[in-house]
């Protein structure tokens, strides 16, 4: 199936860095991609929302490699499916890891240690938030710490909802990457608490 001329024009404009073309593609295909991921994830709305945001960030990042003669939905569904499979693979590894740790856990009161662990993780996350660019930091704090919806944040900051979503996704991607980089420290901390 060949893409429509309008879609091809948007892909060419996107490849050249047009935010307007990106917005049009997002509004045209965001819902379809969400439904596709909902089907694959057996109705996991939170996961579907996260994947959709990540897919559009990835689309923007690889825009220069886009071939306008291919369908946008081809790109989006391929990226989305791969991201979903990676998420499931990561969740499986985390489950096995937690199960292994829980089997080795000794039976004693860990309330104080858990509080120290929680505070350390909070401080680590706060430090990562401080490293975000100012506007992204503000959006992230309004969303994750103060509990505002994406729509409310968009209205407060006079920006589009998709800009809020993109900034939140970029913030989460950065934080996941930093947590990944520091996973050895986190692992050592966890092991110390369990010994």
DSSP code per residue over 127-182: HHHHTS-HHHHHHHIIIIIT---HHHHHHHHT--HHHHHHHHHHHHHHHHHHHHHT
Sign of CA dihedral 158, 26, 18, 77: positive
What CATH number was assigned to the domain covering residues 108-195? 1.10.10.10
Q: pLDDT digit string (tens) for 59-90?
A: 888 888 888 788 888 888 888 888 888 777 77
What angle, rounded to 10 degrees, do the helices at 45-61 and 72-104 form? 120
Sign of CA dihedral 103, 104, 107, 108: negative
Q: pLDDT digit string (tens) for 142-178?
A: 887 777 888 888 888 899 988 888 888 888 888 777 7
**Cα–Cα distance measured from residue 97 to residue 74, given in angstroms and rounded to the nearest whole number:** 35
Residue 26 pLDDT: 92
Burial of 70 (0-12, 13-18, 19+ CB in 10 A): middle
Q: Are 142 and 129 in contact (CB under 8 A)?
A: no
53 phi and psi, to 5 degrees?
-60, -45
> What is the fold, at CATH topology level, of the domain defined by 1-104?
Rna Polymerase Sigma Factor; Chain: A (1.10.1740)
Per domain, the residue ranges of the chain are 1-104, 108-195
Q: For the beta carbon of residue 72, count every other beta carbon within 10 angstroms.
A: 22
Residue 110 pLDDT: 54
Domain pair 1-104 / 108-195, same fold:
no
Alpha-carbon distances, residue 69 vs 6, 34, 66 (angstroms): 12, 23, 9
Residue 170 pLDDT: 87
Residue 106 pLDDT: 47
When pLDDT is cut at 50, 70 and 90, the band that residue 2 belongs to is very low
Q: pLDDT digit string (tens) for 91-125?
A: 666 666 666 666 555 444 455 555 655 666 677 77
């Amino acid at each position: 199936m060949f893409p429509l001329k309008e879609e091809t024009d948007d892909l060419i404009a996107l490849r050249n860095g047009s935010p307007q073309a990106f917005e049009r593609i997002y509004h045209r295909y965001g819902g379809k991609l969400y439904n596709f991921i909902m089907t694959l994830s057996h109705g996991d709305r939170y996961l579907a929302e996260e994947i959709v945001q990540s897919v559009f960030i990835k689309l923007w990042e690889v825009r220069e490699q886009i071939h306008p003669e291919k369908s946008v939905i081809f790109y989006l569904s391929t990226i989305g499916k791969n991201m979903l499979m990676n998420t499931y693979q990561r969740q499986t590894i985390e489950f096995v890891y937690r199960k292994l740790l829980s089997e080795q856990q000794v039976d004693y009161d860990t309330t104080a240690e858990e509080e120290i662990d929680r505070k350390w993780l909070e401080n680590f996350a706060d430090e990562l938030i401080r490293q975000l660019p100012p506007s992204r930091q503000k959006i992230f704090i309004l969303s994750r710490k103060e509990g505002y919806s994406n729509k409310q944040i968009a209205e407060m900051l006079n920006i589009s909802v998709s800009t809020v979503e993109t900034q939140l996704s970029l913030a989460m991607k950065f934080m996941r990457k930093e947590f990944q980089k520091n996973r050895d420290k986190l692992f050592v901390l966890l092991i110390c608490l369990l010994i």
